Amino acid sequence: MFFLQAVPVINSASNYLPIGIQLLFAIVFIGGMMALTHLFGPRRNGTDKLLNFESGIESQGNARQPVAIKYFLVAILFVLFDVEVIFFYPYAVNFRVLGWHGFLAVIMFVFFFLAGFFYIIKKGALNWEE
């Protein structure tokens, strides 16, 4: 496991300070935005607001009708490839420390990533027309 043989880093609380600051900032920002929308947002309660709304069309029929599997497939593939892209972040942060071994590991990761993508395309998972 060559990626574990990088320069040893001494773990201390100061290494986690930027992450803590970013987390605190995110919590304060989200809380502040939610408070501002409740303070300054419009308050219009009425029967029209409580009606079901489905793309501007009145609801008809049973809501339990089957939905095409393509929607779920695209959503799952998006999540899968989105999570794979997240793995590039640690490499981007540590690319100088990882050196050529890290670069080769990322090239291998990209190869497997693209192999999976081309497999999905070959199987027609993204073809909507059948």
pLDDT tens readout for residues 80-101: 878 888 888 888 888 788 888 8
Is it the case that residue 79 has pLDDT exceeding 70?
yes
Dist CA 98 CA 102 (whole Å): 5
Residues in the chain: 130
What mean pLDDT is predicted for residues 48-72?
72
| Residue in 97, 89, 103 with CA at minimum distance from that of residue 19 | 89
- The pLDDT assigned to 6 comes to 57
Residue 107 token pair: 């090239």
Q: pTM for the whole thing?
A: 0.44
Helices (H), 51-87: 69-86
Neighbours of 85 (CB within 10 A): 10
What is the CATH topology of the domain spanning 68-130? Methane Monooxygenase Hydroxylase; Chain G, domain 1 (1.20.58)
Phi then psi for residue 85, to 5 deg, are -65, -30
- The pLDDT assigned to 55 comes to 67
Residue 27's pLDDT band (cuts 50, 70, 90): very high
Report domain extents, the chain: 14-41, 68-130
